[in-house]
Structure 1
Amino acid sequence: MLGVFFSALKKRQSMEDMVYSIQKGDFDLRNDLIEQYKPFIKRSVSSVCKRYITDTDDEFSIGLIAFNDAIDRFSYEKGTALLSFADTMIKRRVIDHLRVQSRKKQELSIDFSVATEDGYAQSLLEADRSIEFHKEEIDAERRRDEIKSFTGRLQSFGITFDQLVQASPKHADARKNAISIARIVAEDSSMLNYLFQKKKLPLKILESKVNVSRKTIERNRIYIVAMVLVLSGDYRFLSDYIKGVLKD
């Protein structure tokens, strides 16, 4: 059992080292990694297209580009595995491509010709619905990844998701005020570094920058810290939550 664990750990470290070297400019290693994971790229593309993918397919080329971009943009600090991150990027790019083709009423390179009971081929409208369904699946997967990553970040501050739910201000104005405080912290590099290093809010500095009492800040500490993490991180869906709060 321990052998399996250490083997998996070694593989993760090896992948991390490779990505780090590639991001530093190792062009040959980049090509080797892409070549090694071509079958993975084809499977990701095929899961959207619902057909066998070859090297000559346009969708495969899009998948290759997406995988290459994923290598450049990937960071283990975000709490997501490289292949999971790459899989999401590949599917999103392919879906975007298919949606453009569908909107232009051009012939889709994906085979949506699924015969119905009446013998008619599936319409472009149905094809677009299928694409939309896959997009929703990917969005749901990314949302789960975001929550998992965010939960991990919260835990590093000694906060659980349940505690965040319980500590969230009940009134809209209180939530807006807390988010405003969080934004001040997120946009100030010195306060942000203090928070990340000390795992606590820089209360003394904050008091001089906001028109609320120290007691109010401390009462909303958990919520403020959580909002700082969202504002300073790569959380597309959680950021939408903040936008919704501010609109209320």
Structure 2
Amino acid sequence: MISFLLFGLYKFSSKATLEEKVKQIQMGDTELLSEVLEAYKPFVKKTASKVCRRYIYDSDDEYSVALIAFHDALMKYQSDKGASVISFSELVIKRRVIDYLRTHQKEKQEVLFEPGSESVDSAGYLENDQSMKAFASEQDAEARKEEIIKYSLVLKEYGLSFNELAVSSPKHKDARENAVFIAKLVSSNSEWFAELKKKKRLPIKQIEKEVDVSRKTIERNRKYIIAVAILINGHFPYLYEYVKEQLQ
């Protein structure tokens, strides 16, 4: 009974963070889900409008796509990945709307070139195709820029910067491979990664027991290991895609 009352007080507390509300939503609180979806409609519209470069209305298909994307983001959000609900949702919404626009444009082009069509506006097709490619390129560039900013802010929480990483990154291939291997271990171990997030330092004692690398070497590559572990486990798909070959 006490736990039920506490849950009730928590649920209707205006001080509950969005992350806390999402936990309750993922536990099956449909009423709270409806409240959050309603409260964050302006955020959903604003995010979709940025992608479409025009104001989005309730009747627009893009709004429906964006709202469904926000719902999916709430249900799939994981707090241990390093991103906030808003930043994660924004990324999901933008990607989903961009995918919709690309598909919608492709459908238009297929109709334009439908066999038996009496007239084909090839100039208009090429213009639309080029515009869509340019639009997609701009959106990808903007998403990468946002990821770089967010990643730099996360690194700052650990006392790190891009300049420091450039200086402290392992120069030899073997050392870099060992550091990446340790970073992958940290990112895949929920307890280790949780300790890293909480204390802002590597669980070196635990790592020593699992790898054939000296403590001195781990400490020397500490900054690089932390940066890679955060990159792997922190919802930075564009950045990860850029460096994934170096991390394999």
TM-score w.r.t. structure 2 length? Answer: 0.69
Structure 2 counterpart of 1:71, one-letter code: L
- Give the SS at the match of 1:212: coil
Are the counterparts in 1 of residues 18 and 85 from structure 2 also a CA contact under 8 Å? Answer: no
Distance in structure 1 (CA, Å) of the matches to 2:202 and 2:88: 31
Aligned residue in 1 for 2:29: 26
Alignment of 1:40-51 (within 5 A): 40-50=43-53
**Post-superposition CA distance 1:162-189 (Å, at most 9, x none):** 2222211233443222112222333334
Structure 1 residues 205 and 87, CA gap change in structure 2 (3 angstroms): closer
**Post-superposition CA distance 1:179-209 (Å, at most 9, x none):** 1222233333444344444433333443343
Distance in structure 2 (CA, Å) of the matches to 1:15 and 1:181: 33
Distance in structure 2 (CA, Å) of the matches to 1:193 and 1:80: 15
Query: Are 1:170 and 2:193 counterparts?
Result: no
Structure 1 residues 52 and 205, CA gap change in structure 2 (3 angstroms): closer
Aligned residue in 2 for 1:5: none
Are the counterparts in 2 of residues 45 and 94 from structure 1 also a CA contact under 8 Å? Answer: yes
Aligned residue in 2 for 1:180: 181
Distance in structure 2 (CA, Å) of the matches to 1:183 and 1:47: 35
Aligned residue in 2 for 1:7: none
Aligned residue in 1 for 2:211: 210
- Give the SS at the match of 1:123: helix
Aligned residue in 2 for 1:117: none
Q: Which range is displaced more, 219-228 or 190-199? A: 190-199
Distance in structure 2 (CA, Å) of the matches to 1:130 and 1:151: 32
Identity value in percent: 43
**Post-superposition CA distance 1:91-145 (Å, at most 9, x none):** 321221222233343459xxxxxxxxxxx89723333333333333433343344
Distance in structure 1 (CA, Å) of the matches to 2:75 and 2:194: 25
Aligned residue in 2 for 1:232: 233
Are the counterparts in 2 of residues 23 and 72 from structure 1 also a CA contact under 8 Å? Answer: yes
Tell me which of 94, 99, 107 is aligned to 1:91: 94
Structure 1 residues 101 and 210, CA gap change in structure 2 (3 angstroms): same
Q: Which has the higher contact order (CA 8 A, sep 6+)?
A: 2
Structure 1 residues 194 and 125, CA gap change in structure 2 (3 angstroms): same
Are the counterparts in 2 of residues 92 and 135 from structure 1 also a CA contact under 8 Å? Answer: no
- Give the SS at the match of 2:135: helix
Structure 2 counterpart of 1:155, one-letter code: K
Are the counterparts in 1 of residues 83 and 235 from structure 2 also a CA contact under 8 Å? Answer: no
- Give the SS at the match of 2:210: coil
Structure 2 counterpart of 1:69, one-letter code: D
Q: CA deviation at 1:243?
A: 1.6
* Aligned-pair Cα RMSD in Å: 3.6
Q: Which range is displaced more, 63-72 or 32-41? A: 32-41
Are the counterparts in 2 of residues 80 and 149 from structure 1 also a CA contact under 8 Å? Answer: no
Distance in structure 2 (CA, Å) of the matches to 1:41 and 1:161: 32
Structure 2: runs of 5 or more not aligned: 1-13, 113-120
